[in-house]
Every structure is written in structure tokens, then in C-alpha cells.
Amino acid sequence: MLNFDFYNPTHILFGQGRIADLNKVIPAEAHVMLLYGGGSIKQNGVFDEVVSALGTRKFTEFTGIEPNPSYETLMKAVEVVKQGGIDFLLAVGGGSVIDGTKFIAAAALFEGDDPWAILEKRGNNITQALPFGSVLTLPATGSEMNSGSVVTRKSMKAKMAFSSRYCYPKFSVLDPTKTYSLPVRQVGNGAVDAFVHVMEQYMTYPVNSPVQDRFAEGLLLTLIEEGPKALAEPENYDVRANLMWCATMALNGLIATGVPQDWATHMIGHELTALHGIDHAQTLAIILPSMLRVRKEAKRAKLLQYADRVWNLRDGDEDTRIDAAITRTQDFFEQMGVKTRLSDYALDASHISPILSALETHRMVALGEKRDVTLSISQQVLEMSL
Amino acid sequence: MLNFDFYNPTHILFGQGRIADLNKVIPAEAHVMLLYGGGSIKQNGVFDEVVSALGTRKFTEFTGIEPNPSYETLMKAVEVVKQGGIDFLLAVGGGSVIDGTKFIAAAALFEGDDPWAILEKRGNNITQALPFGSVLTLPATGSEMNSGSVVTRKSMKAKMAFSSRYCYPKFSVLDPTKTYSLPVRQVGNGAVDAFVHVMEQYMTYPVNSPVQDRFAEGLLLTLIEEGPKALAEPENYDVRANLMWCATMALNGLIATGVPQDWATHMIGHELTALHGIDHAQTLAIILPSMLRVRKEAKRAKLLQYADRVWNLRDGDEDTRIDAAITRTQDFFEQMGVKTRLSDYALDASHISPILSALETHRMVALGEKRDVTLSISQQVLEMSL
């Protein structure tokens, strides 16, 4: 096991009816900025429940935080906050709204000239942030219980990540019933996103970390079991609850303790989203299977463990079991309704070169747990994903 | 899954050499009370490393916190703190030292007349506590990453628990190399303690919580694998690291999320310690196997899952598999050098009645996940453990 730090102070309020408890966890005198995306929370009752829980607190709405939240949009919220008065942010939505709120919380108190520096320095220059909490409506990114955020600057076609210990939500409310009305596409994307988060922290090389491995495998097994059920039985409470808890656990730092991490799939995926607007989870579903095939030797020991423990593949030689495990993984993504080929998204070989250029521009030229995923390897992965 | 709250802000610093990082996590101007038990930390180098990390900070030693820390001893430390100056507590030791430090941290700022009220109210009357951290030298209780504490009042032969959200350590340093020199008895006790902590949260009845179940099973499997290795290879770093992380994860609130909890074994065990001075883990090893046998029907579904997933028992009828799983559990405790019968500790049938009386005095008359472990059931369990 590698040395590590673990710190995660987010208070989780989980279960049906918990939105009402916002009244207990938001300061009574707070002036709240209520941040959300489109209008779905006004249709499914979440908005009304939140407003009811806020009681007599003053609140200001900020709406229109888009998927892959943009710097341009978020800076508008920063300006409103800087006008004064607002002292608590409440994100109501999925990972994009929460990620955006993290940036707003940090940028509003940022002491440099230009908050874009937060992205350029990956958050290392953050020294304070406004307190914020979240009401999660889309289990997927884990943003509700971590300190990370990804922001896109449209004008630069750049999708960049930052994190800071000042950017943990004070609390997050996870009510599984609020996910019943999610569109099928978002349910599929959410399960795939959580699955690939686990894989980025698990599918590397062995460091004798049996607890972390078993936790990761427990999450993968549960996602495989519960994901399809969520599509078939959208109002099954336990299925929704299990998926929600999986997605949070997948990226709250726990399974990352003491192990190497990969994240090459994510870095290539970010370029696909920035250049072509493909959903984040879709990019992961395109890249991961090819990444595993291309990097089979480096990941052999963990791929064999994965084949055994997650997919019950124990017959045949090593390569047969590994290949079958990767195929099952890809099939699972397809089963969740997430297509796994570049051609499914109308991209062909001519699109690969610009993706590689973007990776180079963003200095993503030595990715993966051993920093040996060069541009040439990324090219192989993309070609295999055509 | 049941509704739940999860909150755990303790910062874990894990790995070889991390004691030096105390310098980063204790305020630079702090006047530290350094709390420990006997003198083992002066023999194994931990004391010197801690003092070196404290640098120029002023510190005051408080030594002699005993196993099952006593109210009488802890109140002496409270008096020292109340004399002023000390503003940070640093526990260096195992669960007893950390539990004791939690009580001191709360009692020093307690506003009532008599800090014993903290135990009587189980911590619900705590409104503040001095900040404190820990350097863990004995993986077992999980106290390094939770808000609970157990204190014994010798004069009353009472062993009582409290918890408070103000009583999380600010940080805990977990350096596996500092456990190399532990006596065999403490290694065995530690693994059994962690194992039974998991069982108290896992071995109840199904509530459709696959993530929590798999996390719990992952901890049990790892303890079974690594525990005996720690006895055979005391200086195997990975073994010690895995045991240490298991013990912390076993009782930091994570596997308790959304599931019923038992704790009847602990409550009966506490009386055995209070009346007869038997080590905490020894009491658990005595009680748990009989508790599982007596309550087999109530726990049938989870016992079958446990037999399958933890002990790979898939042959024979249900009762055969359950009985074998309980026998394996008891054998594991014995393998760790922890005896599992009252008679191993020179207790016989004549000692049962006073234990039941103590349970009654402490209102422990409706224990377990369904509050149906009456005194009569406890009596059956004790008789089966003779």
C-alpha cells in the first residue's frame, strides 16, 4: 500500500424526505444563492421542496448552469455574488451544477486578478471559498462528496479540472426518489460515469491493497447489478438508492487511498467533450475498452483479478479471460444505452488528429498510472475506438 | 436501505514516516498536552519521533492512561487542562488513550457541574471540545476515526460509552511500522476487535444494501487473511498496513450507513470487562459465537450470505452452512490467540447472575438490532459460552 492522506468532511444526508433537513444544515441567517441548470427541478417538485426547506431565508436564484459548466456562465454568478449579501451557495442538480458551484465558491473569494488562474493552477492557489452545499438529483460524478470540479472555457475549447480542500460541500442531500424522473440517457450516463471512476482507481497494478480492491469490486458489482434495473424499474427505491450511494463512493477519495491511479481515459474523454460536445460518460464508454485492450500488458495482473472477481471468468487462458472481461465491460456500457464507438457519434479517423493536438496543447502527453500513455498510445486507443 | 447521515471530518495521514507530518497539522502556536499510556512509546521510538515533530511547540505530558481508561485517571488530566494554557490534545497510543483523550477534550470545556453527566447522557450534552489529534499505535478500536469513546468508572464498576460530533480527531497518524513491536496478545485482540465491529454492523437482517454488505465482507475477508500473517510475520509492512486500514474502516461510520446495527455482543462484553477485567476483544470472542448461535433464526439470511461470501461455504443444507460459518468464526478468534470460552478466563456458571444484574442496572435489557435481546437471551448466550 502506498502512503496517503484521506480527508472528507462532507456531511451526507441520505434518503427519502431529506430535503426538508436543509433547514438544519444551512445557517439560519444565510442569504442563499440557489443554483441550478435547466428547469427540471421545477417540474419534479425538487425546487418547491428546497424553497420550502429554506423557510424565511433570503435566496437569490441563478439558473442556466449547463452540462459541462462553462467558465463564461459561472463568471456571471461570480459577479452576482461579488455584489454582496450572498453568503451561502446551494447547488441543486447533478455534477455539472455542483462542479460549477465549487468554482463560483472559490472564484468569488479569489484574491488574484483573474479567476481563470484557478483552472490554470488546478486549484492550488485557492485559499478560501464560500460555504456551499448540494441537493443531488443525478448520481454520477461524485462531486457531491469531493473537492474536485471540471470547468469548460468555451472560447478556448478547454475542459479543465481543479480541486481544493476548501471546495468540499458542507453537506449534500441524496434523496433517491428525486432520481425517478431522470431521462434514460442520464441514468445510463450516470452508471457508466461511476463505473469508470472506479476503474480509474482500481485498474492499474497491484500494490497489496486488499481493502481498497474489494471496496472497488463491490462498487463495480453493484453497478452491474443495479444499473440495468434502474432502466427497467425507474421507481424502485432500493435500486435508485444503491446506484446513488455507489456513485458517491466511487469518487469520494475512499477507494483512491493508498493505490495508484490512472485517469488517462478521462483526460482523452475531456477532449472529446470539449471538441465535439459528446456527453462525458459517452466519452468514457468510447475510450475505456480500447484503453484496456491497448494497455493489457501493463494492467495484466489487475485485469485478471477483475475478470475473476467482477465477471466470474475463470475458464480459459489468461488472455481469453482478460479479453472476455473487457468485452463484458463494453457490453455493460451498451446495455446501459451508452454507445462505445466513435462512429456511433459520427466521428471518423479524420477527427483523431485534432484530438491529439488538443491533448498536446493541454500537456496531456504522459498519462496513466505510470505516466507512459504517450500521444502515440492515445492515438492507438482512439484508432481502436473508431 | 435505511435513511442515514454520514459525517466524518478526521484527516488520516497514513504510512511510514508520517509522524513527522504532525508539524503540518498541529497549529504552530499550540500548547500541546501529550497523552499516552504506559511507557511502550518510549521504547519503540514513537515518543522521540512525536517530540521531534512538535518542534518548538510547548508540550505537557500526561501519562498513565490505562486500558479501559478510567474516569478517575482522566479527571486528573481534565484538572491539568483547566489550569489553563493547553489548547491542543495529542493522544499517542491505542483506542484507550484516544477514547480517554476524547473524554478529556469534552470534559475540559463541559459547562455542567459534573463531567460524569457526559457518560450519563451518552454525549448528547456536549456542545464543544478541545481540538485533538492522535498517533495510533494499536489498530483495533477505530477510535482514531470516529467520535465515540468508552470510559470506565472504577468506583462504580461501570463501563459506559458516549459520542459527539465535537469528538472527531482533527487528524490521526497511522504508521504501520509503529505496530511491529506490539505484543502478540494485542495483535490478536486488535484483529478480533475489528472483526466484531464489522459483524455488529453487518450481521443483522437484509435491507438491500449491497455496497455496505460488500464493504463489510471485504473487511472481514481481509482480517481473516491478514490477521494470522501479522502473528507470523510481525514486520511485514503490507500486512500491518492492511490490518491498520481494516480496523479504521471497521468503525468509522462507513459500513454503518443505511443498515441496522446490533451491538448486543459489545454490551454484554462491557460488563465482563467491568466486572472481571477481561480484555475487551476477549469478551467479544467469548460472546459473539454464542450470540450468533442463539439468534440464528433472526439472523438466518445474513448468516447464509456470510457463510457463502466470507467462508466460501456452499455445500450442505442451510443449518449446516450456518453452523460451519460460526465455527469458522470462533476458530479464527482462537487462531488469533484469543480464547472464546468463559472457562478460559476462570469464570463459571456462578458468574452469570452478576453479569445479568449489571446489564439490568445499566438498562441493557433490550439489545440487538430489533431490541429483542432480553436478559433471558443474554443469559442463554452466557450459558452457551461457559
Residue A84 pLDDT more than 90?
Answer: no
Residue A38 is predicted with a pLDDT of 86
Percent of chain B that is helix, strand, coil (3-state, to 5): 55, 10, 35
Question: What is the H or E stretch that residue A173 is in?
Answer: strand A171-174
Contact A219 B242 (CB under 8 A): no
Residue A146 pLDDT more than 90?
Answer: yes
The answer to whether A322 and A296 are in contact (CB under 8 A) is yes
CATH class of B11-178: alpha beta
Nearest to A249 among B211, B222, B245 (CB): B211
Question: What is the H or E stretch that residue A353 is in?
Answer: helix A352-361
Nearest to A238 among B1, B6, B254 (CB): B1
Name the residue ranges covered by the structural domains of chain A. Answer: 11-178, 184-384
Beta-bridge partner residues of B89: B33, B132
> Distance from A146 to chain B by nearest Cα, in Å?
12
SS3 A125: coil
**Which chain B positions have a beta carbon within 8 Å of A14's beta carbon?**
1, 3-6, 257-258
Specify the pTM.
0.97
Core vs surface per residue A6-27: b (16+ CB within 10 A) or e: bebbbbbbbbeebbebbeebbe
For A164-211, the pLDDT digits (tens) are: 999 999 999 999 999 999 999 999 999 999 999 999 999 999 999 999
- Which one of B178, B207, B211, B309 makes the best mutation probe of the A interface by having the most chain A beta carbons within 10 Å? B211
Question: What is the H or E stretch that residue B62 is in?
Answer: strand B58-62
Residue A97 pLDDT more than 90?
Answer: yes
Percent of chain A with pLDDT over 70: 100
Q: Which residue type does B24 have?
A: K
Sign of CA dihedral A149, A155, A156, A157: positive
> Distance from A4 to chain B by nearest Cα, in Å?
5
State the Cα–Cα distance between residues B104 and B101, nearest whole angstrom: 5
Residue A159 is predicted with a pLDDT of 83
> Distance from A218 to chain B by nearest Cα, in Å?
5
Question: What is the H or E stretch that residue B99 is in?
Answer: helix B95-108
DSSP-assigned states of every residue in B152-178:
EEGGGTEEEEEE-GGGS-SEEEE-GGG
Nearest to B214 among A209, A218, A258 (CB): A218
Nearest to B4 among A8, A14, A221 (CB): A14
A to B CB pairs, distance under 8 Å: 126
Residue B158 is predicted with a pLDDT of 82
C-alpha cell at B43: 521504547
Using CA coordinates, name the residue in chain A closest to B168. A9
For A257-314, the pLDDT digits (tens) are: 999 999 999 999 999 999 999 999 999 999 999 999 999 999 999 999 999 999 999 9
CATH of segment(s) A184-384: 1.20.1090.10
- Residues from B in contact with A at Cβ < 8 Å: 1-18, 208-211, 213-215, 217-219, 221-222, 225-226, 238, 241-242, 245-246, 249, 254, 257-258
**Those residues with Cβ within 8 angstroms of residue B348's Cβ, 6 or more apart along the chain or in another chain:** B342, B386
C-alpha cell at B213: 454488505
DSSP state of A373: B
**Which chain A positions have a beta carbon within 8 Å of B217's beta carbon?**
214, 218
Contact A1 B242 (CB under 8 A): yes
Contact B214 A217 (CB under 8 A): yes
Contact A11 B6 (CB under 8 A): yes
**Those residues with Cβ within 8 angstroms of residue A375's Cβ, 6 or more apart along the chain or in another chain:** A356, A359, A360, A365
Using CA coordinates, name the residue in chain A closest to B15. A3
Contact B210 A226 (CB under 8 A): yes
Contact A214 B221 (CB under 8 A): yes
The CATH number corresponding to B183-384 among 1.20.1090.10, 3.50.50.60, 1.10.10.10, 3.30.9.10 equals 1.20.1090.10
Which pLDDT band holds residue A157 (cuts at 50, 70, 90)?
A: confident
- Residues from A in contact with B at Cβ < 8 Å: 1-18, 208-211, 213-215, 217-219, 221-222, 225-226, 238, 241-242, 245-246, 249, 254, 257-258
**Which chain B positions have a beta carbon within 8 Å of A225's beta carbon?**
210
Sign of CA dihedral A86, A87, A93, A96: positive
Using CA coordinates, name the residue in chain B closest to A244. B211
> Distance from B134 to chain A by nearest Cα, in Å?
14
**Which chain B positions have a beta carbon within 8 Å of A215's beta carbon?**
214-215, 218
**Which chain A positions have a beta carbon within 8 Å of B218's beta carbon?**
210-211, 213-215, 217-218
Residues of chain B with confidence (pLDDT) below 70: none
Residue A33 is predicted with a pLDDT of 98
Cβ burial of B137 (10 Å; 0-12, 13-18, 19+) is buried
**Which chain A positions have a beta carbon within 8 Å of B245's beta carbon?**
1, 211, 257-258
Question: What is the H or E stretch that residue A225 is in?
Answer: helix A210-232
State the Cα–Cα distance between residues B364 and B374, nearest whole angstrom: 8
Residue A96 is predicted with a pLDDT of 95
Residue identified by cell 499517542 is: B92
Core vs surface per residue A320-332: b (16+ CB within 10 A) or e: ebbbebbebbbeb
Contact A208 B238 (CB under 8 A): yes
CA neighbor of B6 nearest in space, from A174, A116, A328: A174
From residue A113, give the alpha-carbon distance in Å to each of A28, A108, A116, B103. Answer: 33, 12, 9, 47
> Distance from A201 to chain B by nearest Cα, in Å?
16
Mean pLDDT of chain B: 97
For B116-164, the pLDDT digits (tens) are: 999 999 999 999 999 999 999 999 999 999 999 999 998 888 888 999 9
Residue B129 is predicted with a pLDDT of 98
